[in-house]
Amino acid sequence: MRYSPLGLALSLALACVGSAALGQKADSEINPRSVVLQKQGQDALARGEYQRAEDYLETALAVDPRNRQAYLRLAEVARAQNLPGKAVRLYREALQMEPNDLAALEGQGDALVQRGAVAKAQINLARIKALCKTECAASTRLAAVIAKGPPPAVVAQKEATTVPPKPAEKQAN
């Protein structure tokens, strides 16, 4: 009798936790509708239909926001539309789900170079090299992009927005 309130509370807690776990899907199970929409978006991207690809991929993410491949393809659409800032953000979303995704690290590094952030892209290259342990295709491709450097328009824009330092005023003695 002394332990019946404790036993009742414990059994109630176990019943609630157990029923909640049965109703949830595993993280690796992506909604099949989302996968189909993602593949349709990937096909539209291959045909160069960027707006249609973006629509399919955003719908795939609305159906199941855990679809990492949809984030990767959507980032490719953003890069194709010359929107590297958006691409970096989408690759970051994919990397939050799988921090060791070589394709996401490579794509984000490429988008960072497009933005002119070569130092940050080199961090991605170092992570890829650490994951590969030997020379791999992702590190070779990203190293080539970094060696090529940012597009001339980005370099010219950075030079135009750089404010030269003011000359120091001489102090009167």
pLDDT of amino acid 18: 47
pLDDT of amino acid 162: 56
Residue 61 Cα to chain centre, angstroms? 13
Q: Mean pLDDT check: name the lowest of 42-56, 65-79, 137-151.
A: 137-151
CA–CA separation, 124 vs 167, rounded Å? 38
148 Cβ contact list (under 8 Å, min separation 6): 113
Check residues 60 and 28 and name the one with the higher pLDDT: 60
Check residues 5 and 127 and name the one with the higher pLDDT: 127
* 29 closest CA partner among 64, 60, 71: 64
Q: What is the mean pLDDT of residues 119-147?
A: 92
Sign of the torsion angle spanned by Cα atoms 108, 99, 30, 106: positive
Q: Domain extents for the chain?
A: 30-81, 87-151
Local structure of residue 145 (DSSP, 8 states):
H
pLDDT of amino acid 55: 96
Residue 162 Cα to chain centre, angstroms? 29
156-160: long-range contacts, CB 8 A cutoff, minimum separation 24: 157/116, 158/116
Cα Rg of the chain, angstroms: 24
User: Residue 151's pLDDT band (boundaries 50, 70, 90)?
Assistant: confident
Answer yes or no: pTM beyond 0.85.
no
Q: What is the mean pLDDT of residues 50-55?
A: 96
Check residues 164 and 112 and name the one with the higher pLDDT: 112
* 142 closest CA partner among 130, 124, 154, 155: 124
66-105 tens-digit pLDDT: 999 999 999 999 999 999 999 999 999 999 999 999 999 9
CA–CA separation, 77 vs 30, rounded Å? 21
Q: Can you give the length of the chain in residues?
A: 173
pLDDT of amino acid 86: 95
Q: What is the mean pLDDT of residues 147-168?
A: 65
6-22 tens-digit pLDDT: 555 556 555 555 444 44
Classify domain 87-151 by CATH number: 1.25.40.10
